[in-house]
Structure 1
């Protein structure tokens, strides 16, 4: 059950510091109930490495050798999708772009959509081939289209990994195939923790969850309609044509992987009542063990953590004083909902404050970002979200300011006026 703490359950205090700095502190006035450490319980995980993470805060709920560098097979393609979709978001590419298949891309082994040399396919279809069918040929074709060569694209993958703080990760290709099978003398590995960090970023990239949650997709729809791809993620939550629900409740991604070198791997994410968890298992001995490990991790997370809604988009958090405005105060709210997962019974450990990014002086515009709502647990920051003005505040003219100053002067002389 999701917990929501609105005005009725929150004590709001506005404090003005010096002339313009205002801090909004929100104390959740609830009793603190001690929660046992998440890893007090030993889980039976057969994979070589594993991690369970709360997506919004990045808190690690459970881990097993999470920083151990290991081959990750086709989980690599999460980064390929991230870079492609971010390029589209930035206007550097589009879903309608035609991607031409090179001889090198067509020669990829493993899972594929059997691209032919010179064959053109839209970027959208290529990305669905990667997300649903884990197509190696499509991954390389997209990499070459975006960066000119797979090697250049791998350099971009490594740059992004460093930007995200993936310290135990090295990419050498876009598909996740073992470098030696591609004739490369190169490293290609990651860690369970690094991949969870990547997934935490990936789930917020526009269109990515939509793609990785797609259970099936038809290639070449206007010609052969082949192949018809089915997701390799058997845990994907979906309703079959028979009406029977299949998969793990709330699981909407993200990517499987398997090679003889990497074993069975899965980076998964599931959301319930606004709380999203991320699990990663690397080097499971069998497909069944990979599934069991993932379910064990997610079950543990949803059993021991609960969703807490800190703020809802457009719901006023309070008012802040504005200098030189026709009105003296403006209400503020978050630009998006903020729900986080917390150990059950730990809500009383939270505080909130607003970190203002600019001086609050008129004119202000509705929707203008003024700062960030910062959420802390036991004094440590765990989440933040943009805060914006709820309405326009026009600048006051000289007459209005003189009238306001006169009123304040009279009130200081005659209290209660």
Structure 2
């Protein structure tokens, strides 16, 4: 029976791959229309009117990736089952383990009977088989494979239970206070809950690892030298050009869900939809939020006059003053309607007490539009300044005397 199921699944995957590569079974316009309820293309989102956002679901949120700013939300703190969007955290911990060097994408993972026994969507892992972390990530993020999720969890932490503890620890570190994970794959389980807001937070964190998009932007592919077909569960990857990911999920408890990311003009957004009921509710809702976000927001360079950023005196320091610079990226997120009215005022400390650490905040640039404060850009020490000690002062005095 397992072999028959495996054959039928492989056959369907091949059909999907052929459809994706040739368009023989359905034209792009046919499937694009399938993303809407009325059979037509989604209407243009009217600027400055969040009422034009159309989301047919229980909860939703739109968040900007770099700032974490919430642009739109609907019941975003309502606890719900996340289904396979759970795998965003599984992927995040995997990418962090790769970055730390504790595992490598080329590592070969020995598949356990426990991983093989997983139900739902799988890539038909067999106990005793080995597969690279890289290929398991493809199975995880493209096919939403539950067996790949468990295999990665066991490889990183020894057991799925230990990995789930790590998932919950990382969730707390990210401020996901309404989230409790019970497994690494997302199948319905009592107490396995999160919110649209928390999903957006972990999605933004995952997108900091640009390598993840090598997986999430795959539409069709294969594993095992072509023997196992891959077809992305996220329709937006093919039929919404700005899409960069991220993860779908559907179970009886969760409904139709998606955490959808997309980028235009360096603006990266995440739209989370939970609890859709009808076919494509999750994709329609996510696309509607994303289009509204791109129509209304932009990342811009604030009008900071660098000549106003002067060195600050240092009290009791090894040098009399410290240079000041803008912290990190200077781009800020604003509503497009206010882009032409921006001004910046510089606020610096009169003096700073040594020691001063490089990167220590010692001022800010306040960005305004009229009387409204839009953002505050940190101004930081461009260098470190040591504290003057009696010994160091004595040494300087001696050096000065010798130089006379």
Common fold, TM-score beyond 0.5? yes
Equivalent pairs counted in the alignment come to 342
* Paired residues for 1:201-280 under 5 Å: 201-220=205-224, 224-236=225-237, 246-280=238-272
* Cα gap change, 1:331 to 1:229, in 2 (>3 Å): same
**Bigger CA drift: 341-350 or 83-92?**
341-350
- Give the SS at the match of 2:280: helix
One of 303, 311, 315 as aligned partner of 1:320: 311
Distance in 2 (alpha carbons) for counterparts of 1:247 and 1:55 = 22
Paired position in structure 2 for 1:348: 342
Higher strand share: 1
Counterparts of residues 281-292 of structure 1 (less than 5 Å): 281-292=273-284
CA change 1:258–1:383 in 2 (3 A) is: farther
* 1:208-253 CA-partner distances (Å, limit 9, x unpaired): 2333223334312xxx4221312222212xxxxxxxxx53232211
Matched, 1:87 2:90: no
Q: CA deviation at 1:55?
A: 2.2
Cα contact 2:325–2:379 (8 A) shared by 1: no
CA contact (8 A) 1:192 1:280 kept: yes
The structure with higher relative contact order (CA 8 Å, sep 6+) is 1
Given candidates 187, 193, 218, the residue that maps to 1:189 is: 193
Work out which of the residue numbers 134, 138, 155 in structure 2 matches 1:128.
138
Deviations, residues 308-331 of structure 1 (Å, cap 9, x unaligned): 13499xx99945357678997646
* SS class of match (1:95): coil
Counting only pairs closer than 5 Å after superposition, residues 52-131 of structure 1 correspond to structure 2 as 52-131=62-141
- CA shift for structure 1 position 144: 1.0
- Indicate the larger mover: 280-289 or 132-141: 280-289
Unpaired stretches in structure 2, ≥5 consecutive residues? 1-46, 386-391
Alignment of 1:120-159 (within 5 A): 120-159=130-169
Aligned to 1:308: 300
User: 1:328-339 residue pairs with structure 2 within 5 A?
Assistant: 330=323, 332=325, 334-336=327-329, 338-339=331-332
**Matches of 1:55 and 1:114 in 2, distance apart?**
34
Unpaired segments of 5 or more residues in structure 1? 1-36, 180-185, 237-245, 404-417
Q: More deviation in 52-61 or 250-259?
A: 52-61
Is 1:178 aligned to residue 172 of structure 2?
no
Q: Which residue of 2 aligns with 1:23?
A: none
- Alignment partner, residue 294 of structure 1: 286
Shift of 1:264: 1.1
Name the SS of the counterpart of 1:255 in structure 2: strand
2: distance between equivalents of 1:349 and 1:130? Answer: 46
Q: C-alpha root-mean-square deviation of aligned residues, in Å?
A: 3.9
